[in-house]
Chain A
Amino acid sequence: MAPVAPRSGDAIFANIERVNAELFTLTYGAIVRQLLTDLEEVEEVNKQLDQMGYNIGIRLIDEFLAKSNVSRCVDFRETAEVIAKVGFKMFLGVTASVTNWDAEGTCCSIVLEDNPLVDFVELPDNCQGLYYCNILSGVIRGALDMVSMKAEVTWLRDALRGDDVFELQVKLLKQVPEEYPYKDDE
């Protein structure tokens, strides 16, 4: 029998090494600040953050699967739940909720009420187009990519832009069938 997948990441979160939240927040802030100085264009910064997130995601998924003991998800609904309840808890220390499913079950929203990345942050007028937490969308995209799911992740609501919560829309584009690495008759 497959091990029972944990429904929340609390236990794992309690056992893995953690860093001080302010150190983490300010380090991320310094990265974004530096990107803004280097790239100058807010759009470019968004892209770069997403790419950095992707690169994190494709590595992080392995750590996630190794430590969380989750078994194969039967459908995308379960995947989203695991990301929100276990994934976010494990790596960010917060839990998110999953809402707004469409009829086909391929598109949903992950809502973050609490986001450690944005403590202290306030967007100045010249950075209004910035998706400050764009790294998160990249991480999810990268992680799903590694488990053969092509997804598109976009921000629907951003508390830094005056909304009350953070809302990420995750849209499953296609599920890449796993290919056998060699032919049967060889």
Chain B
Amino acid sequence: MATTACFIIVSRNDIPIYEAEVGVAAKREDAAQLHQFILHAALDVVQDLAWTTSAMYLKSVDRFNELVVSVYVTAGHTRFMLLHDSRNDDGIKSFFQEVHELYIKTLLNPLYLPGSRITSSHFDTKVRALARKYL
């Protein structure tokens, strides 16, 4: 399990629709803002990279000190962004793939408006469980 990890889903309109701090490290107060800042800065890189490859998993696209940003872009251009300090590439890939499946299930829910915040507690629980399993 990674000591620090922050997972964010960004909609195609660049709006964050889901956020989870999934690390085991003791929370510093400014950590959340710092993580959001790094991920936000990485969005530009993602935009360029996304069209250069047909793969959904873009691997690590950006780094900040010891923190690495890994990104997965779905076909609908929703971006899953993970900020982490571990070097577990396979685990991260599996994590993204399984979250993608969860995300599709959420999208298929007729009562969920695509591009709106994911408030489902079921989704949250599942994502955190996946994070424990793979990261």
Contact = CB atoms under 8 A, between A and B. Distances in A.
Contact of B105 (A26, A30, A120): A120
Interface in B29-52: none
Residue among A119, A123, A124 having the largest count of chain B Cβ atoms under 10 Å: A124
A125 interface: yes
A127 interface: yes
Give the interface residue-count category, chain B: 10 to 19
Q: Chain A interface secondary structure, helix, strand, loop or mixed?
A: helix
B120 A29 contact: no
A21 interface: no
Interface string B97-134: 00000000110111110000001101000000000000
A124 B112 contact: yes
A33 B110 contact: yes
Contacts of A164: none
Nearest to B112: A124
B112 A32 contact: no
A120 B109 contact: yes
A36 interface: yes
A127 B110 contact: no
Contacts of A28: 110
Nearest to B110: A29
Contacts of A26: 108, 110
18 contacts: A26-B110, A28-B110, A29-B109, A29-B110, A32-B110, A33-B110, A119-B108, A120-B109, A121-B109, A121-B111, A122-B106, A122-B111, A122-B112, A122-B120, A123-B111, A124-B112, A124-B120, A127-B111
Interface of A: 26, 28-30, 32-33, 36, 119-125, 127
